[in-house]
């Protein structure tokens, strides 16, 4: 740890001894979830008596927004993952007491800092190492990065158990289930109903989807999200990954977790009990609602999210999910059944395929085609035993390499 950072931490510890302060870090602060988290923290500071201190903020490359956020929150440490941006960030924060870092080592340094609550919002497998570090340290992890559980489920859950912190889901669907799930008596639960908006192409044919543009794919009808997650929603791979995440989080057999399309995104998921009761969590499609739930759990905190106006809700409709039109749903279910490192390969191949699509090197329907080809190229029979971080990272590396090879052949 740098001497300047040690000095800053020591000074902050003295301040903390004078009053009760809850220390927070946000990994991926410039993305949509990170921005909403900081918006909610600012709102909570103004509308509650609890004192909140932002310890560390991290971003991939957006140093302009990161610097503004660090100054606005009086953060202790600001880190950009892209180490080529270090001088830019340092210049932007010149004259402040904010410590600046860059690169992988600085990201892990931020995760080691004594924050009580960490928002894990780095998109993709890139967020795995920082989340694991914070988990082992014992922080409560509010995770919007589903890839931690998809890629390294047992490794991540073991790290949480080792650290003793709480795992608090932020995805609206898993947060909804979390709020109505009876963890003390899970045997009384018969089904989890994981809702999906259906994305922008819910009513499109496969022929129409063959011509989908990047601009169309990232234009989600209900949610404001980044390009990668919006594309995953359009292919419904996002829901497939959420299926795997739900199977890791909740002690309900995966065969009893169903995906149902609910275009209005008002009911965020449901839990069915043995007596026929179905408990649902409802709210407007605003990420600040599940973030507020995770921030205050098991208490509640006021949020600036718009409240539901039931008088204006004309229809709440539901449809069966179609794995033929959206094969990502089938691939996710297959990876979950294979278990072991299959979900790791699924996620890695999908990340590369989505990247290629967003860079206009791949057609929309080829995203899942590439992912399926990569998933089918592995033998996962022996991967169910002894999963470690090392073999998770290795299968992630190999799957990405294979995905690029498939994409190169397709585009030749």
**Exposure pattern of 337-372 as b/e (b: 16+ CB <10 Å)?**
ebbbbbbbbbbbbbbbbbbbbbeeebbbbbbbebbb
DSSP 125: G
Q: C-alpha distances in angstroms, 360 versus 214, 231, 350, 357, 367?
A: 7, 13, 15, 5, 11
pLDDT in the model for residue 223:
63
User: Which class in CATH covers the domain with range 3-169?
Assistant: alpha beta
Residue 57 falls in which region: left (phi positive, over 0), alpha (psi -120 to 50) or beta: beta
State how far the Cα of 40 lies from the Cα of 23, in Å rounded to an integer.
Answer: 15
- Give the best-scoring range by mean pLDDT among 129-133, 226-230, 314-318, 326-330: 326-330
State how far the Cα of 188 lies from the Cα of 386, in Å rounded to an integer.
Answer: 31
pLDDT in tens, 279-338: 999 999 899 999 999 999 999 989 999 999 998 888 999 999 999 999 999 999 999 998
Q: C-alpha distances in angstroms, 36 versus 93, 259, 334, 350, 382?
A: 22, 26, 34, 26, 41
Residue 247 has pLDDT above 70, yes or no: yes
**Partners of 180 in the beta sheet?**
none
pLDDT in the model for residue 381:
52
CA-nearest of 327, 330, 318, 407 to 361 is: 407
DSSP 301: -
pLDDT in the model for residue 292:
95
- Averaged pLDDT, 71-96: 97
Domain positions in the chain? 3-169
State how far the Cα of 144 lies from the Cα of 172, in Å rounded to an integer.
Answer: 9
pLDDT band at 200 (very low <50, low <70, confident <90, very high): very high
What count of other Cβ atoms lies within 10 Å of the Cβ of residue 62?
Answer: 18
Please tell me the pTM assigned to this model. 0.88
Residue 271 has pLDDT above 90, yes or no: yes
Residue 118 has pLDDT above 70, yes or no: yes
pLDDT in the model for residue 15:
47
State how far the Cα of 22 lies from the Cα of 15, in Å rounded to an integer.
Answer: 12
């Amino acid at each position: 740890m740098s001497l300047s950072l040690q000095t800053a931490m020591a000074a902050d510890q003295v301040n903390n001894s004078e009053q009760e302060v809850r220390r927070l870090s946000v990994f991926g602060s410039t993305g949509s979830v990170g921005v909403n988290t900081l918006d909610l923290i600012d709102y909570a500071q103004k509308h509650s008596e609890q004192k909140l201190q932002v310890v560390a903020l991290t971003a991939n490359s957006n140093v302009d927004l990161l610097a503004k956020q660090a100054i606005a929150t009086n953060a202790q440490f600001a880190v950009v993952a892209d180490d080529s941006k270090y001088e830019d960030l340092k210049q932007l924060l010149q004259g402040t007491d904010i410590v600046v870092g860059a690169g992988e080592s600085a990201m892990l340094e931020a995760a080691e800092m004594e924050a009580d609550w960490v928002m894990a919002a780095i998109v993709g497998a890139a967020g795995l190492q920082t989340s694991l570090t914070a988990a082992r340290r014992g922080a409560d992890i509010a995770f919007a990065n589903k890839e931690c559980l998809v890629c390294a489920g047992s490794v991540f859950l073991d790290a949480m158990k080792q650290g003793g912190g709480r795992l608090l889901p932020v995805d609206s669907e898993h947060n909804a289930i979390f709020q109505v799930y009876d963890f003390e008596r899970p045997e009384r639960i018969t089904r989890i109903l994981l809702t999906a908006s259906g994305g922008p192409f819910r009513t499109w044919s496969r022929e129409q989807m063959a011509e989908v543009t990047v601009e169309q794919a990232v234009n989600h009808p209900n949610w404001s999200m980044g390009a990668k997650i919006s594309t995953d929603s359009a292919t419904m791979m996002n829901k497939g990954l959420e299926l795997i995440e739900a199977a890791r989080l909740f002690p309900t057999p995966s065969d009893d977790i169903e995906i149902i399309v609910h275009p209005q995104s008002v009911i965020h998921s449901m839990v069915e009990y043995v007596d026929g009761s179905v408990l649902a969590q409802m709210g407007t499609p605003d990420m600040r609602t599940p973030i507020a739930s995770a921030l205050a759990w098991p208490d509640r905190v006021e949020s600036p999210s718009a409240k539901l106006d039931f008088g204006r809700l004309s229809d709440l409709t539901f449809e069966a999910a179609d794995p033929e039109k959206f094969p990502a749903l089938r691939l996710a279910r297959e990876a979950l059944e294979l278990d072991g490192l299959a979900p790791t390969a699924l996620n890695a191949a999908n990340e590369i395929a989505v990247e290629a699509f967003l860079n206009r090197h791949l057609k929309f329907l080829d995203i899942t085609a590439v992912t399926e080809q990569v998933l089918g190229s592995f033998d996962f029979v022996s991967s169910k035993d002894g999963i470690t971080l090392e073999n998770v990272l290795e299968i992630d590396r190999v799957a990405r390499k294979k995905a690029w090879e498939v994409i190169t052949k397709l585009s030749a």
